[in-house]
């Protein structure tokens, strides 16, 4: 049976990955309410199609940070691709290069940034950055990726501590010995994924505080002033990932960042927060076009992409579906997942009366309770 939609790839991955690996990728925090609502929220949104619009020719191209991409779907930063396919992030990079879209490389990649650039030298890439207690680690990473031609920094701001992912704790999840967080190879001479008590918290459970690097490495004291610090060490655009409120969106604009990714970390951090797509409209309304706004979390079909753009997103990013594609057939599987979304998006545009991305707007949307 051919795989014809992203759900087919999900089912394949669930059947063929080990339980611990599947649980790691599928994990949400606590009761997984936010993870699940990321999907349900799209189903609550209805489209208002226009007819007789001559959609014989359509164009899915758009731009992000001034660079043209073939369609408004990129790859979100997701860790440990080598768990799903032996080539890992190298395969993901080749797939996104082939389809001419944006790949946000994770700090926690199992291939180094140098290996990724060598594999797909013409790819359009951003780099996801965390701020560590040892600021020199973050600064060194910034300089590495800037020198390698990465085009933006995606500062992930919703992980002062790692969310409680119950199955990872039950499974005592850790990277197998042959895999490493390659961007920190040799920096931390420790066994990957030490299970430890979260410091400075009153929780009684144990959790992998920082997957693949020593516990308590991330800096929970990070604040808005660190945006200025980051701007002082790089000329790359800074995009903040993890904003869910209009108040923080306004602060992001005031601090001079170039973009926002509306994100709840795939429901892996704070359980009970809003679905990303539900948070998107107030952020778009607050930003008023001053900077670009993107969204991730819960995108599974081309019509989901259309809905996100109609609500004001410039581009969407997919996380878990890229991993499912990897698990199926490596680079080819990721290409297939992206191509399915591209084809479905183009079809949804046409059936809604949109000939190009510029014609997609909020008039296309109505909200309906299931």
Is 299 annotated as contributing to ligand binding? yes
How far apart CA 257 and CA 227 sit, in angstroms, is 8
CA quadruple 78, 79, 82, 84: dihedral positive or negative? Answer: negative
The separation between CA 238 and the C-alpha centre of its own chain, rounded to angstroms, equals 15
Is 228 annotated as contributing to ligand binding? no
Is 130 annotated as contributing to ligand binding? yes
Is 268 annotated as contributing to ligand binding? yes
DSSP, res 356: B
Strand partners, 47: 365
**Residue located via tokens 């509306």:** 262
Is 223 annotated as contributing to ligand binding? no
Q: Measuring CA to CA, which residue among 37, 108, 73, 79 is closest to residue 264?
A: 37
Q: Which of 16, 143, 178, 265 is catalytic?
A: 265
DSSP labels for 37-67? HHHHHHHTEEE----SS--SS-B--EEETTE
Is 302 annotated as contributing to ligand binding? no
Q: Measuring CA to CA, which residue among 242, 241, 247 is closest to residue 283?
A: 247
Is 53 annotated as contributing to ligand binding? no
Is 149 annotated as contributing to ligand binding? no
**Per-residue buried b or exposed e for 45-66, using 16+ beta carbons within 10 Å of the residue's own CB:** bebeeeeeeebeeeebebebbe
How far apart CA 149 and CA 145 sit, in angstroms, is 6
Is 165 annotated as contributing to ligand binding? yes
How many C-beta atoms lie closer than 10 Å to residue 4's C-beta?
10
Q: Which two tokens stand for residue 287?
A: 């930003």
Is 18 annotated as contributing to ligand binding? no
Is 346 annotated as contributing to ligand binding? no
Strand partners, 67: 64
Is 219 annotated as contributing to ligand binding? no
Is 263 annotated as contributing to ligand binding? yes
Backbone phi and psi for residue 336, each to the nearest 5 degrees, phi listed first = -65, -45
Is 172 annotated as contributing to ligand binding? no
Is 106 annotated as contributing to ligand binding? yes
Is 144 annotated as contributing to ligand binding? no
Is 241 annotated as contributing to ligand binding? yes
Is 77 annotated as contributing to ligand binding? yes
Is 255 annotated as catalytic?
no
Residue 335 parent element (H or E):
helix 320-351
Q: Measuring CA to CA, which residue among 355, 349, 358, 368 is closest to residue 49?
A: 349
Q: Which two tokens stand for residue 9?
A: 């790839």
List the catalytic residues.
265
Annotated binding site for FMN: 77-79, 106, 128, 130, 156, 241, 296-300, 319-320
Binding-site residue positions? 24, 77-79, 106, 128, 130, 156, 165, 241, 263, 265, 268, 296-300, 319-320
Please state the residue numbers annotated as binding site for glyoxylate. 24, 165, 263, 265, 268
């Amino acid at each position: 049976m051919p795989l014809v939609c992203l759900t087919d790839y999900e089912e394949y991955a669930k059947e063929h990955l080990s339980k611990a690996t599947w649980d790691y990728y599928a994990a949400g925090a606590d009761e997984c309410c936010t993870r699940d609502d990321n999907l349900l929220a799209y189903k609550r949104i209805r489209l208002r199609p226009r007819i007789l619009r001559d959609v014989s020719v359509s164009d899915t191209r758009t731009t992000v940070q001034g660079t043209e991409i073939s369609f408004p779907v990129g790859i979100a930063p997701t860790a440990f691709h080598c768990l799903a396919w032996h080539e890992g992030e190298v395969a993901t990079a080749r797939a996104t290069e082939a389809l001419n879209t944006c790949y946000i490389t994770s700090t926690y990649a199992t291939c180094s940034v140098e290996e990724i650039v060598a594999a797909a030298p013409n790819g359009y890439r951003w780099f996801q950055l965390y701020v560590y207690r040892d600021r020199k680690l973050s600064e060194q990473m910034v300089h590495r990726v800037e020198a390698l031609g990465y085009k933006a920094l995606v500062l992930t701001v919703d992980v002062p501590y790692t969310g409680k992912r119950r199955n990872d704790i039950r499974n005592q999840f850790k990277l197998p010995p042959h895999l490493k967080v390659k961007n920190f190879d040799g920096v931390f001479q420790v066994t990957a994924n030490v299970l430890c008590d979260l410091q400075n918290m009153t929780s009684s459970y144990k959790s992998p505080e920082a997957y693949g690097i020593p516990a308590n490495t991330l800096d929970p004291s990070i604040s808005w002033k660190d945006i200025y610090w980051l701007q002082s060490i790089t000329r790359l655009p800074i995009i903040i990932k993890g904003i869910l409120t209009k108040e923080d969106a306004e602060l992001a604009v005031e601090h001079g960042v170039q973009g926002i990714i509306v994100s709840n970390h795939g429901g892996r951090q704070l359980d009970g927060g809003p679905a990303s797509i539900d948070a998107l409209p107030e952020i778009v309304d607050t930003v008023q076009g001053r900077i670009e706004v993107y969204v991730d979390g819960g995108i599974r079909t081309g019509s989901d992409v259309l809905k996100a753009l109609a609500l004001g997103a410039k581009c969407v990013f997919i996380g878990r579906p890229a991993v499912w594609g990897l698990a199926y057939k490596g680079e080819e599987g990721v290409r297939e997942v992206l191509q399915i979304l591209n084809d479905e998006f183009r079809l949804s545009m046409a059936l809604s009366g949109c000939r190009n991305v510029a014609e997609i707007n909020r008039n296309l949307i109505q909200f309906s309770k299931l």
